[in-house]
Structure 1
């Protein structure tokens, strides 16, 4: 079977980021950290660092090799939370030193974009009652950090 792995390019502090992410996201682990033993276009032997890790059930690799392209919204990591307490904890931890955005998006201190969403949002958005879905979507679009009670209230009308 083909294996798919997301790859993240960090300008600096890759190890700190990866250790932070894997400690924070349930079901995650750091598999390995290494440095490139050969000279690369990014620097001499040993200056480029790489890591393999999982976040939840997703495979990732990361490289720290200096500036190239900054992270942007075209790639984000979405974390689906079981309840408001988990959502709040991840929101606060990932957003510290970063910035918060509309609709449950934030950028962490390394510039990586995250979507921190409640599992319940997906359930509400798949409801067969399209009027309910429209109310939920309208409520979500007004939120920065997503609030399950607010989404439920919108669903109820």
Structure 2
């Protein structure tokens, strides 16, 4: 028996538009299936369901998707593409034009935060940023 797990994103009639938008941003992405109610899609080989559920529920930053980036160029690209027509927030967080929250973070953040004596400086630098800057975090 397979217990596959994947998120279901509740949209107000925009599930297909959202799936197309996300597939245009992430590599190795595609629409798997669709009907008027549900769109199944993959982003970087991770499965998602988009549900046209109606207006009763909205996205909040309480749930977000973390995108780890190896380079500043990747951070810049995801930051600009996902944040376009959305809202930028502090500490690498943004909400896209559909209201879905994302955290665009450097892969190196884990190791920077685990260096003895450096975690506090890195966290202080991170708290002052909107889009994260790998060089500035590394130099903290």
Structure 1: 5+ residue stretches without partners: 36-48
2:92 aligns to what? 104
CA distance in structure 1 between the partners assigned to 2:23 and 2:129 by the alignment? 27
SS at 2:105 equivalent: strand
Q: Answer yes or no: is 1:56 the counterpart of 2:44.
A: yes
Q: Answer yes or no: is 1:147 the counterpart of 2:133.
A: yes
**Superposed, which structure 2 residues align to 1:107-146 within 5 Å?**
107-127=95-115, 129=116, 131-146=117-132
**Superposed, which structure 2 residues align to 1:1-157 within 5 Å?**
1-35=2-36, 49-127=37-115, 129=116, 131-154=117-140
Shift in Å, 1:13: 2.0
Q: CA RMSD in A?
A: 1.2
> When the two structures are superposed, what TM-score results if normalisation uses the length of structure 2?
0.93
Structure 2: 5+ residue stretches without partners: none
Q: Which portions of structure 1, spanning 4 or more consecutive aligned residues, are displaced by more than 4 angstroms? A: none
> When the two structures are superposed, what TM-score results if normalisation uses the length of structure 1?
0.84
| Number of aligned positions between the proteins | 139
